[in-house]
Amino acid sequence: MNTKGLEATALSVRSLSMDAIQKANSGHPGLPLGCAELAAVLYGEIMKHNPKNSKWADRDRFVLSAGHGSMLLYSILHLSGYNVTLDDVKTFRQIGSHCAGHPEFGITDGVEATGGPLGQGFAMAVGMAIAETMLAAKFNTNDYKVVDHYTYTLVGEGCLMEGVSSEASSLAGKLKLGKLIAFYDQNKISIDGSTDIAFDEDVEKRYQAYGWQVLKGSMYNMKDIVSLVEKAKKDDRPSLIILKSTIGQGAPTVAGTAKAHGAPLGAEGIAAAKANLGIPANEEFYIAKEAKDYFAEKAPVFAKANDDWDKLFDAWAKKYPEKKAEWDAYFSDKPQSNEALPQYAVGEALATRNASGAALNVMAQRYKNLVGGSADLQGPNVTALKGESSYSPENRAGRYLHFGIREFAMAAISNGIQLHGGFRTFCATFMVFSDYLRPALRLSALMQQPVVFVLTHDSIYVGEDGPTHQPIETLAALRAIPNVKVLRPGDAEETAVAWEIAMETTNAPSCLALTRQGLAVYEKDDPDWRNTARCGAYIVKKGSDNPDVTVVASGSEVNLALAAAKLVSNKTVRVVSVIDREAFIRQPKEIQAAIVAPKSRVVAAEAGISMGWEYFAKPEDIFAINRFGESGPAAKVAEHLGFTAENLAKIIAK
């Protein structure tokens, strides 16, 4: 181990970090200064990676869960040879820079996940570790180990306080993810001061209780860190390596204090730090020659590891061409077969959650790499994968994940599996509990990850469970997130198409809003409705070329609108099913006019708040529910709230 080269690298990480934050006049210097040695030894000695090929399939993954310390990551990515230039570093936190305030997947070479909100990076690392074991079980053979890598994450005090890390860590321990190694930056400082004011639990005992191996060391002993990682690799449990550190290490004006957490050092602080560290006083963005030499020597070593794997992979591919074909399919977005969707007769009634379960199983055949599960609601969500086993420490080939009652971690872990590559993921819960997973769904959208969220029990028709379980504002809340497809099908046929749309979408998450109650399959006047539906809406009942009223409805309210239309004798009525409202709103006016008759009065119907439907209809023509529900049988709840076909017909007929 080239100690001098590593020490020079740590020094350069500190130099680049403090100067970038100072120039931006914004950022968090404490973690980059405090963890520079870890970055140096991780990217220099521990990780299997090739900076010149950041998408190498069998690379080790690193997720900076403590994303506020982003300059640590940008500095080491630049130093080790990733496509992060010094100009990128110098434009830290500026518009258009590859070095955003928090690491963002897709804009910065070498960044594996958008690890901004604390704790989510940790949970995504759990997902990546799961994905590694799944791929290994699928593709490794007795003579070739083409999948064999580790997932590392750096977590801070804040990450361990956030509940999502507890959920994810608990599941990781249960699943014995031995190739997951988390470094805990134990500096005992948060923004408000010492963590003792709010956080004094015994983290070691907590993680031992989760089923983790816990190791301890110093952030500033690089040889010890390497030894601890080697020890971690010998255990079949995930490992938490607690590294005692000093926030702002090397900067005398802030070291060990909350002042290091969220503001630049300032001119005096920079001068004091450079003098203390031996960095030339008048040189900004200083990089030690020994650091450059160190990674220049490492570059061919990194490349050789990649080349050796390429040769191994080529030999495996030649010997196992069927597996190679499957590998290619797993790493593409295309279906591997074309099983037919279920067929339904007009008038047949079933809940869209049940239709979703049938469609999901078709998708699981079309996409052999589709994996996922539910937050302890496999039966109510109807997400069982027929003929498939459950994932466990004893069965890494299982395609179904039992997440337990951990909605937030479930969604974040699903993001991690998706980010890893090789899989499409889905996860499921009751729609009202999307509030628990919303922060991870938001990151799905921000990272453009096509996770499918199966959200059942989508309205007051949940019934007896009452207002705590009856979504009211939830659809509006989901639709409010940019780059999220919210699909609310109105019958079993539409549900199957919604699943197709979700799986065809490769740059955004999809939410399937599904009913508990049965809905009748209805006739569809648009003969090409399956394609038209991809616009977000289509004509179910034409009424006439120029109807008096067009009712735009989603989900269960399409059946309600059809029933209401039959009660209206004084007007011609068109009924439109709006499967994806936001997609339909984005369509050209010509497409909208072909579906929603432009000269007709428009009535909107949905069993949720009216927000957003003003785009189509005047407030008095929106049939919605702008209050919380009630506990009771579904039909009686609807009647109690006045949400009936008769009342909708009155609005249509007025």
Quickly list DSSP for 608-648.
S--TTGGGTS-GGGEE---S---SS-HHHHHHHTT-SHHHH
What are the domain boundaries of the chain? 3-302, 349-520, 536-653
> Residue 316: how many CB atoms within 10 A of its CB?
20
User: Given this model, what pLDDT does residue 112 score?
Assistant: 98
The answer to whether residues 355 and 495 touch, using CB atoms and an 8 Å cutoff, is yes
CA atoms within 13 A on the CB side of 326: 12
Phi and psi of 432, rounded to 5°? Answer: -60, -25
Select from 139, 161, 168 the least CA-distant residue to 63.
Answer: 168
Predicted confidence band of residue 333 (pLDDT cuts 50, 70, 90): confident
Q: State pLDDT tens for residues 567-616.
A: 999 999 999 999 999 999 999 999 999 999 999 999 999 999 999 999 99
Select from 654, 574, 580, 60 the least CA-distant residue to 305.
Answer: 60
CA atoms within 13 A on the CB side of 223: 4
User: Given this model, what pLDDT does residue 220 score?
Assistant: 98
Which CATH number is 3-302 given? Answer: 3.40.50.970
Lowest mean pLDDT among 52-56, 242-246, 334-338, 392-396: 334-338
> Residue 650: how many CB atoms within 10 A of its CB?
14
Select from 416, 497, 462 the least CA-distant residue to 608.
Answer: 462
Report, as an integer, the average pLDDT of 350-373.
Answer: 98
Question: What superfamily would CATH give domain 349-520?
Answer: Thiamin diphosphate (ThDP)-binding fold, Pyr/PP domains (3.40.50.970)
The answer to whether residues 445 and 486 touch, using CB atoms and an 8 Å cutoff, is no
Rounded alpha-carbon distances, angstroms, from residue 342 to 106, 352, 384, 493, 538: 37, 13, 16, 8, 20
Burial of 526 (0-12, 13-18, 19+ CB in 10 A): middle
User: Given this model, what pLDDT does residue 473 score?
Assistant: 98
Select from 523, 474, 470, 517 the least CA-distant residue to 494.
Answer: 523
Phi and psi of 273, rounded to 5°? Answer: -65, -45
Percentage above 70 pLDDT, the chain? 100
Q: Is residue 262's pLDDT more than 90? A: no
Q: State pLDDT tens for residues 87-128.
A: 999 999 999 999 999 999 999 999 999 998 999 999 999 999
Topology, domain 536-653: Rossmann fold (3.40.50)
Kindly compute the dihedral angle of the four CA atoms of residues 27, 32, 34, 40, in this order, to the nearest 10 degrees.
180
Scanning the structure block, which residue is given the tokens 């769904």? Answer: 441
- Rounded CA separation 573/570 (Å): 9
370: Cβ contacts below 8 Å, ≥ 6 apart:
363, 364, 399, 423, 424, 425, 426, 503
Report, as an integer, the average pLDDT of 645-653.
Answer: 98
| Residues 477, 513, 462, 640, CA torsion sign | positive
Select from 152, 160, 159 the least CA-distant residue to 38.
Answer: 152
Which of these is catalytic: 407, 493, 582, 606? 407
Can you give the pTM of this predicted structure? 0.98
Same fold, 349-520 and 536-653: yes
Which residues does residue 351 pair with via DSSP β-bridges, in sequence order?
518
Written as six digits, the tokens of 484 are: 């999220």
- Rounded CA separation 45/269 (Å): 31
Long-range contact set of residues 345-350: C-beta below 8 Å, sequence gap at least 24:
345/521, 346/521, 346/522, 346/523, 347/520, 347/521, 348/492, 348/520, 348/521, 349/518, 349/519, 349/520, 349/521, 350/492, 350/518, 350/519
- Rounded CA separation 262/253 (Å): 14
The answer to whether residues 480 and 611 touch, using CB atoms and an 8 Å cutoff, is no
Phi and psi of 413, rounded to 5°? Answer: -65, -40
- Rounded CA separation 427/357 (Å): 12
| 614 counts as catalytic | no
Longest dimension (CA), the chain: 88
Q: State pLDDT tens for residues 626-642.
A: 999 999 999 999 999 99
The answer to whether residues 550 and 602 touch, using CB atoms and an 8 Å cutoff, is yes
User: Given this model, what pLDDT does residue 556 score?
Assistant: 98
State the Cα angle at 120 between 79 and 46, rounded to 5°.
35
